[in-house]
Every structure is written in structure tokens, then in C-alpha cells.
Amino acid sequence: MVFILKSGLSEATIKAFSESFERQGFSTIISKGTEHTAVCLIGNTASVDMDKIVATSGVVEYARRVTEQYKAVNRTVHPDDTIIKVGEAEIGPDTFTVISGPCSIESEEQIVEVAKSVKASGAKLLRGGAFKPRSSPYSFQGLGEDGLRMLSTAKKETGLPIVSEIMNQTQAPLFEDVDIVQIGARNMQNFDLLKEVGQMGKPVLLKRGLSNTIEELLMSAEYIMSSGNSRVILCERGIRTFETMTRNTLDISSVIVLKQKSHLPVIVDPSHASGIRSFVAPLSKASLAVGADGLMVETHNDPAKALCDGAQSLDLKQFDELMKELKRRAPLENRKI
């Protein structure tokens, strides 16, 4: 059950209203929109007389039952689109924000070169993997802490905010300088890690698991939000099907579903979704057209020598071409790049 409050209420009034329910044994989530604040009750609300509260509380504009299991991420609870600001970057309904960089950070030279180039092409954030989840224990596992240091250097040299994947709770202290913490597909239901990043006070980029449903993705976002962090970015990166000609199957419709069901921004990762370099540009254009709020695209200064996922990485020139194509199309979708 969610109460959308009247506008202009004081913090104290809102808190008092919320606490009146906590005294009855409910958990509450307070969600602040542009104009209205909402108070969402978690628990068995069958016995709550919603209409009476609307009529008598004096602070409620209107109320709704939230039948879905996801509450804080639900658009019913927060009708406006959430906009997430990171440095000068903004991820939300008016922009088409492109995050780019290599699968793995391989050296300081590499990451700085890529960072400068993707920034010049129009990327607003830099990605780079330091801790790599690899299906084989014998594959390159990332540069770890050293990699994060190199990524920080690239941030300093370019001003680009940085995104990197965290693999377990004990790594949290290493991510102090990282602007957006990424949860990878394989950890989408690592619930303890979700709770941890819910308390890190940073935006979280949450990737959909390889065979997780859209509802499960929303429930994982709910884990993060219910731990106190409302800045979650959802990322569609392809699901596993029987089709073998592409690495995964981009579920482009999921972008539409997610934008309808939730207020959180949604981006697409066309690199992992296809696994094939020549697919990245057309899938990126399709993602813009379908209503995504941005992209995460893998680029590399020398894809043929990449330590990881070279076959799906654009080189710097190809990325620049892609950005030009996107810039031509963004105005038609009322998006700034």
C-alpha cells in the first residue's frame, strides 16, 4: 500500500505519518519524487482501512494498493522517472547516456588512452573491469586492486566518472573512488552482496542475470532499495536461449516492460547481448529507438589483443562512428547525448 502525500509537507510531518505505521508493525519506505513524497507500507496490509486514512489523515493526496511484490522500485509508488546524477553525467528520461571502456583494465596506458578517446567521442562515464568473473579459473581474473588504481588515474585525467564491478562484500573499501558500483549478471541474485551495495551510498548498476526474469531483476533492485539506496540503474544484457548464433539473446522488449513497471533508469549492454562486434551498432540504435536511457558499450584500443571479450569490443574509431550515428538519431527520441 502506498500513500502519495500532499505537496509541501515538512519532513517532520512525513516522518510522523510514516512512524505511525511502524508502531503498528509495518516497515515503511519513504520515496521522494519531484513533486510528491510517497510512503509505502511493507507487510500484510489486508486489515488497513486505506480509504479511512486518506479521508482522515489530512496529509494524503491519494493511495493505492501495490499488488506486485516489488514496492520501492514500483512506478505506482514513484510515478516520475528517477534521474541519477553522477558528476556531470545524468541518467534518465531526457538523456541517452553512454558508458564505455574496456572489458578489463589491462594497463594504465590502455585505460587512459581509451578514456580520453571515448570521452572525446561523447561517452559520459568510463567502465573498466578490475575484478573479472570468468567461467574458467585458468582465465585472466583481472588486475584487482591495481586495476582500480589505474581506473582512478583515468578518472583524474579525463574527469569521467567511473564504473566497475564488485564481486564480493569484502571488496567494498576498495571501491571508494568508484562512482557507480556494478553488480554483474552472475551476481544478480547474490542477495548478501545486494544488501551490501545497498549501504555503500553510491549508485548501483544492476545487470540482469542470464536467465532471470524481469520480475526477479526488479526484486533484486528492491533488495538494494530496501537497504537504503534508491539510486539503481537497471541493465538488460541478453538472456540465455537455445539460439547459438549470438552469445546471448537481447531481450529488447524488457526495456519497455521495465520502464512501465518501474521508475528506475534502464540501459542496454549490446556488447554482451550479442558477443559480436558488428552487432553493437545496430543494437545500440535499436536500444535508443525502443526507449532505453543509455548504453554500456565495450571498447578497446586494440581489440585483437584484448585479454577478455575482444570479439565483442569496438575499437576507438568504431566507437566514435557509433556515437555519431546515435547523435544523429537522439533528437528524434527527445534525448540529449
Residues that bind its own copies (CB under 8 A): 27, 42-43, 69, 71, 133-138, 167-170, 186-187, 189-193, 195, 210-216, 219-220, 222-223, 226-227, 239-246, 249-257, 260, 273-274, 278-279, 282-283, 285-291, 328-329, 332
Q: Can you tell me whether residue 100 is helix, strand or coil? A: strand
Q: Can you tell me whether residue 3 is helix, strand or coil? A: strand
Of the pair 159, 228, the CB lying nearest its own copies is at 228
Q: From the CB of 48, what's the least distance to its own copies, in Å?
A: 16
Of the pair 161, 198, the CB lying nearest its own copies is at 198
Smallest CA-to-CA distance from 165 within 150, 153, 192, 147 is with 147
Of the pair 116, 186, the CB lying nearest its own copies is at 186
Place of cell 531483476: 217
205 within 8 A of 183, measured Cβ to Cβ:
yes
Instruction: Give the cell for residue 130.
Output: 578490475
Instruction: Give the cell for residue 234.
Output: 537497471
Of the pair 115, 221, the CB lying nearest its own copies is at 221
Of the pair 200, 283, the CB lying nearest its own copies is at 283
Of the pair 149, 329, the CB lying nearest its own copies is at 329
Q: From the CB of 212, what's the least distance to its own copies, in Å?
A: 8
Of the pair 48, 59, the CB lying nearest its own copies is at 48
Distances (CA, A) of 102 to 5, 58, 322: 45, 54, 16
Q: From the CB of 247, what's the least distance to its own copies, in Å?
A: 10
Q: From the CB of 71, what's the least distance to its own copies, in Å?
A: 8
Q: What does the angle CA 74 – CA 78 – CA 81 come to, to the nearest 5 degrees? A: 95
Q: From the CB of 58, what's the least distance to its own copies, in Å?
A: 29
> Phi and psi (nearest 5°) for 165?
-85, 135
- What's the rounded Cα separation, in Å, for the pair 269 and 86? 19
121 within 8 A of 319, measured Cβ to Cβ:
yes
Q: From the CB of 121, what's the least distance to its own copies, in Å?
A: 19
Q: From the CB of 116, what's the least distance to its own copies, in Å?
A: 29
Residue type, 133: P
H/E stretch holding 296: strand 294-298
Q: From the CB of 124, what's the least distance to its own copies, in Å?
A: 21
Of the pair 161, 270, the CB lying nearest its own copies is at 270
Distances (CA, A) of 83 to 93, 172, 278: 7, 24, 31
Q: From the CB of 188, what's the least distance to its own copies, in Å?
A: 8
The angle that helices 108-121 and 145-158 make with each other, rounded to 10 degrees, is 40
- What's the rounded Cα separation, in Å, for the pair 269 and 234? 10
Of the pair 224, 233, the CB lying nearest its own copies is at 224
> Phi and psi (nearest 5°) for 42?
-110, 130
Count of C-beta atoms within a 10 Å radius of residue 213: 12
